[in-house]
């Protein structure tokens, strides 16, 4: 275990994370599912290294009004909601409903924007590798994992480059495997473990997804052509 895990940026983190997932390379049923926005550059590199398709799974943190850095829960695609009551904060049902409505609106906006009319890749019967750029509280990833479970994957792997040890370990009850190569203690903040960690833009997410989809389709075509050529001899 590294004493001080350190990544130059999310792409660097994704390439490193992929080396810890090498057993899934060239496996036909693997799907890399990235959490936008920050998880997409990481997931892109993982998908490239594993020769696997990339898709997104939108999750929104439910921040406490006035203290948005604290998550009281999260929502995910498919109508899943995971609540995480925090001591010291008491909210009215109306306040919670307002946060839910706002984040549900943003979740739908992102799905429509990033997918550009493209249907989600089916997860049933596949090995799904759920990727983000790191784990702090783990609430967002937990919501995603619970939602993905409802899609009946064959195997669910949670994979992040860096995370708080307790958060990584706590996800073992919803995932078949948790891959987190760096679990620094004390963890403090995710941004400490990256040289640069700018906000990932909607444009970057859309660009990387389109690029991943084109490259994967091209790879499948090349494999099919090679197979046909071999069969003809």
Distance CA 156, CA 230 (A): 35
Domain CATH number, residue 31: 3.40.50.2020
**Structural domain count of the chain:** 1
Residue 48 lies in a domain: yes
| 49 falls within a domain | yes
- What pLDDT sits at residue 2? 45
**pLDDT tens figures, 155-181:** 999 999 999 999 999 999 999 999 999
The whole domain housing 16 covers: 10-58+120-231
User: Does a structural domain hold residue 180?
Assistant: yes
Q: Are strands 59-64 and 67-76 parallel, antiparallel or unpaired?
A: antiparallel
What does the pLDDT read at residue 157?
98
Residue 78 lies in a domain: no
Does the residue 32 lie in any domain? yes
Q: Is residue 227 part of a domain?
A: yes
Residues of the chain where predicted confidence (pLDDT) is lower than 70: 1-5, 226-233
* Cβ-based neighbour number of residue 105 at 10 Å: 11
Q: What is the pLDDT of residue 87?
A: 78
Q: Tell me whether residue 33 is in a domain.
A: yes
Asked if the structure places residue 71 within a domain, the reply is no
């Amino acid at each position: 275990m590294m004493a001080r895990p350190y990544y130059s940026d999310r792409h660097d983190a994704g390439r490193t994370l992929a080396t810890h997932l090498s057993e899934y390379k060239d496996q036909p049923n693997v799907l890399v599912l990235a959490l936008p926005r920050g998880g997409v550059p990481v997931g892109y590199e993982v998908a490239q290294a594993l020769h696997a398709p990339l898709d997104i799974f939108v999750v929104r943190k439910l921040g406490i009004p006035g203290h948005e850095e604290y998550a009281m829960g999260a929502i995910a695609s498919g109508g899943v909601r995971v609540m995480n009551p925090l001591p010291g904060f008491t909210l009215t049902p109306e306040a919670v409903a307002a946060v839910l409505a706002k984040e549900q609106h943003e979740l739908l906006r992102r799905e429509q924007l990033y997918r550009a009319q493209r249907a989600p890749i089916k997860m049933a019967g596949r090995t799904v590798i759920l990727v983000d750029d790191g784990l702090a509280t783990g609430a967002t990833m937990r919501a995603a994992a619970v939602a993905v479970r409802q899609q009946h994957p064959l195997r669910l792997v949670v994979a992040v480059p860096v995370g708080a040890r307790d958060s990584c370990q706590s996800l073992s009850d919803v995932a078949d495997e948790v891959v987190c190569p760096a679990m620094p203690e004390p963890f403090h903040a995710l941004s400490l473990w990256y040289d640069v960690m700018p906000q990932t833009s909607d444009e970057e997410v859309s660009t990387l997804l389109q690029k991943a989809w084109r490259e994967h389709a091209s790879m499948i075509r090349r494999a099919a052509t090679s197979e046909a050529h071999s069969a003809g001899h």
